[in-house]
A = this chain, B = another copy of it.
Amino acid sequence: MPTIYDISMTIEESMQVWKNYEQKKPKITNVQNHDEGKPHESLLSMNVHTGTHVDAPLHMLAGGDTIETIPLERLVGPARVLDLTHVKEFITKEDLEPFAIQRGERILFKTSSSFSEDFLMDFVFLREDGAKYLADIGIGLVATDALGIERAQAEYPTHRTLMRNDVIIVEGVRLKEVAAGNYSLVIAPLKLTGIDASPARAFLMA
């Protein structure tokens, strides 16, 4: 039995959300319960970019592909966690070159953003030149432990460069407790269809 490392964010009303916007916070409501003589049931209401999630190209590209176009085969398999905790502001091509990243790899960024459970306005992001470098290599997937792969750069060059080059983007993983190295990765988004993202359970096995 392999060891499982859960790298998902817990979904709860008090969790960090993008820029702490009230309308981005999930709501979890009890709709019936044993006191009423009924089974206990809850309603979950959440923006699909909450917590650990997979972005579909539609999120940042008008007319882009939607979430059901990303097959499980792309989200399950060998992966590598890179230690980028020394990076202060943004991840550049120069930061990535020492890792000798290969075509088709699934890459996870462990950054200092995992050290806090609060939303950090200055979270570590992937700069456009770093995104272009990964797109040129032709990696399969990039995951980051920040809530976003970029902050709110004009025209979203990081998202768009990755999406136009068929690199899957996973945001909001939790890597604080995970060492850099090679793992077997599972990213399991809810099976939604026709929309811009899906919340996901994510774990590594070693």
Interface of A toward B, CB cutoff 8 Å: 1, 4, 6, 8-12, 23, 28, 30-31, 34, 39-49, 51-52, 58-60, 62, 64, 68, 72-73, 76-77, 156, 186, 188-197, 199-201, 203
**A196 cross-chain contacts in B, Cβ below 8 A:** 39-42
The distance from the CB of A55 to the nearest CB of chain B, in whole angstroms, is: 9
How many Å lie between the Cα of A48 and that of B44 in the bound state?
Answer: 6
A to B CB contacts below 8 Å, 27 in the list: A1-B73, A4-B72, A8-B190, A8-B191, A10-B191, A23-B31, A30-B195, A31-B47, A34-B62, A41-B49, A41-B197, A42-B47, A42-B48, A42-B195, A42-B196, A44-B48, A44-B199, A45-B45, A45-B46, A186-B186, A186-B188, A188-B203, A189-B201, A190-B190, A190-B201, A191-B201, A200-B201
